Amino acid sequence: MLKMTSRALTSMVLGAAVAGTSASADEITIGWTAWSDAEFITKLAAEILEDRAGYDVNLTQTDIAPQYQGIAGGDIDAMLMSWQPGTHGDYLDGIAGDYTDLGPLYTRARLGWVVPDYIPEDELSSIEDLKNDEVRERLGGEITGIDPGAGLSNLSEQAMEDYALDDYNLQFSSGAGMTAALDRAISRDEWIVVTGWSPHWKFGAYDLRYLEDPEGSLGGAERIHALTRNGFHEDHPDAADVLARMFIPLEMLQDYMAYAQDNSYEEAVEKFIDEQSGYIDYWVTGEL
């Protein structure tokens, strides 16, 4: 998890990002961080707010900590990537009272260790099963991770300790390195365990499952919420209503994220708009 930045630094970062724009009654600024789910949901919301609700939408990309401080300080109007209750709990505590929560955009998000579904569950269904000598041999004693210092990497190191996986190596890489290793293993029908999270496009591209985590080392179920600055609903009631009604089933989201990975996020957004008019009509009008 990133460290919190000061409000002064946040104002400088966000101020520079929106410099040159002129605020109007129908202009809103949405912050986002370069995560695959955040990119899809933010660009989808922007397209709908512009085409169906008549707003001019500015998208401001920064790290996650400035998103929260930008909401609290009023430098941005909304963010669509608040992981609750645990992952971003510290950020929320740091801006208590200085934001409005519009509710979940999707649920059943989580962190964990992931395996291809062709690995037999009677041999490997839980992190506890990794202690089995035959399982360790099939895996080469390796867990494929992402960036060192990432929140998931820190939790994975704790899991290694909690489950006494002394004979394993947590191999740090990157998000792209992890998915490349996963793709390579699947193409060869090999065993692999990777550190993972949902939503992620890999769940739309491959048949995967999480290993059970009886110690709870990797956390529990999470929800991703839309947050706005205080007063946003009074200033932009139609936009606030659209964001409050937005909700996408996790499996559907991951399918479109997988499409974006193979094409582009802009094309994935257009595909969603073409195929899911019932969802969009409800988000815009509130009528079923």
State the number of CA atoms in the 13 A half-sphere of 225 facing the CB: 18
CA distance 288 to 281: 8
**Greater pLDDT, 5 or 122:** 122
Domains in the chain, CATH or no CATH each: 7-108+223-285 (3.40.190.10), 110-210 (3.40.190.100)
What pLDDT is stored for residue 35 in this prediction? 83
On the question of pLDDT at 19 being above 60, the answer is: no
Confidence of residue 87 (pLDDT cuts 50, 70, 90): confident
**Is 226 within 8 Å of 78 (Cβ atoms)?**
yes
Q: Give the residue ranges of DSSP H helices in the chain.
A: 7-17, 36-51, 64-73, 89-94, 133-139, 151-162, 175-187, 202-205, 232-235, 237-245, 250-262, 265-275, 277-285
On the question of pLDDT at 245 being above 60, the answer is: yes
Which two three-digit tokens encode residue 28?
């809103």
Query: Which pTM value belongs to this model?
Result: 0.79
Answer left, alpha or beta for residue 54, where phi above 0 means left and psi between -120 and 50 means alpha.
Answer: left
**Is 28 within 8 Å of 236 (Cβ atoms)?**
yes
Among 133, 251, 119, CA closest to 185? 119
**Greater pLDDT, 128 or 152:** 128
- 148-162, 235-249, 255-269 — which is least confidently predicted? 148-162
**Greater pLDDT, 116 or 221:** 116
Please calculate the CA angle 231-232-235 and round it to the nearest 5 degrees: 90
